[in-house]
């Protein structure tokens, strides 16, 4: 599934607060914003059933090396 790209304008103080929170949670700022949006949608009962799973935290796993 291809992810949508959007331009988001934020107050610098809000961006800084989100970036600090993201750092505390070991997420990128982008992943933190998606986390916050998903949580708000779920709490409001508006998260669509067909919404994909959020990206996992951390670096992607390396493919296992093939057995020789």
- Give the tens place of pLDDT for each residue, 25-63: 999 999 999 999 999 999 999 999 888 777 666 666 677
Contact 33, 8 (CB under 8 A): yes
Helix 29-43 to helix 12-24 angle (10° resolution) is 90
Give the helix ranges, DSSP H, for 1-68: 12-24, 29-43
- Tell me, what's the pLDDT at 27? 93
Q: What is the mean pLDDT of residues 11-34?
A: 96
- CB under 8 Å to 13, separation ≥6 — which residues? none
The structure tokens 């986390």 sit at 35
Residue 23, pLDDT > 90, answer yes
- Tell me, what's the pLDDT at 21? 97
Confidence tier at 68 by pLDDT (50, 70, 90): low
């Amino acid at each position: 599934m291809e992810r949508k790209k959007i331009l988001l304008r934020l107050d610098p103080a809000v961006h800084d607060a989100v970036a600090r929170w993201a750092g505390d949670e070991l997420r990128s700022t982008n992943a933190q914003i998606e986390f916050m949006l998903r949580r708000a949608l779920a709490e409001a009962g508006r998260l669509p059933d067909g919404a994909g799973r959020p990206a996992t935290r951390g670096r992607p796993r390396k493919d296992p090396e093939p057995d020789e």
